[in-house]
Amino acid sequence: MTFDLEFSWANGCPSATGNIRAEVAHFKVFEQSIDATGSGEHAYLRICKKETNTHWVAEKIAEVAGVDVKDVGFGGRKDRYSVSEQAFTCYLPGRSDPDWSRLDGPEVKVLKVDRTQKKLRKGDLWGNAFEICLTQVSNRLDDRLQSMVNASVPNYFGEQRFGQYCRNLSAAQELVKRPHGRFHSRDMILSAMRAYLFNLYLSNYIDTHRGCSRDLNAMGPLYGRSRDPQGGEAELSDELQLWVTTLRQLRLKAGVRKLWLLPLEFDWHRDDNNYLLRFTLPPGSYATSVLREVLRYKDERRGG
């Protein structure tokens, strides 16, 4: 099976091209974290990471503290190819903090140390603010950007969910053949499967609802165990219906996800053929889903 990531655009395919992440500092993420309570059994660290993934930082925190990585919490994974600020917790019952400066290095900088009462878990954040530089833009983007102020965009899962060159989706094909076999990063593969199926549903929804007003409360399916068939299931190819069957065999719980995303505090600044965009998104949303509505970009770090 070949995988097409050219999902439908809300306002048609953008005419402009350009680059993102010409430098890693061109893609900045500022987590709007839940504040520390000031006391408790969990250390609370606000950290700036550069060109490394969130789980690697969690492992380094566990190493410095001498705890299992499961005792380290965070609200969400931040893009590896970025400069990102986010909060972590580390469970230290009855213990004082270790020397957190041991974390500091080229990839990590500790910005703040505090104490809090609960472990941070997935989704424990208010949102993420982004500051993204677009370079070598072929055409003026001002009209396209102006049309996006206070407007919604499709809430697609970002291409990073699918792995470089769709590696996670290719692995999904093997998992469907051997659903109870041993796979490295099984959870990541299953997540990619659901994300791809959701994106296909949303792409088809956009095509069949052109000219209609957008219902910001409309939901799409995250396929899994369900008493009744889920939306769009009958329109899937035979191969992709096997994906849904596999997700149910593996007892993933069915869910839903909003079809539309409303970027907040959206503004920009132009400098010749470069643009600096700033906006804020709720948890679970992808900046690249906003960018793809602006221009057809080349990601200099991901090679796509």
Which residues are known to be catalytic? 79
Residue 123 to residue 188: CA distance in whole angstroms: 17
Neighbours of 97 (CB within 10 A): 15
User: Based on C-alpha coordinates, what's the Rg of the chain?
Assistant: 21
Helices (H) and strands (E) in the chain, counts: 6, 14
Task: Tell me which H or E stretch contains 28.
Answer: strand 27-33
Sequence-distant (6+) residues with CB within 8 A of 169 are 3, 162, 163, 192, 193, 196
Residue 235 to residue 217: CA distance in whole angstroms: 23
Residue 143 to residue 99: CA distance in whole angstroms: 51
Q: Look at strands 17-20 and 296-299 and give their pairing.
A: parallel
Residue 44 to residue 118: CA distance in whole angstroms: 9
127 bridge partner residues: 32
SS (H, E, C) 184-244: CCHHHHHHHHHHHHHHHHHHHHHHHCCCCCCCCCCEEEECCECCCCCCCHHHCCHHHHHHH
Residue 65 to residue 97: CA distance in whole angstroms: 8
Residue 297 to residue 288: CA distance in whole angstroms: 10
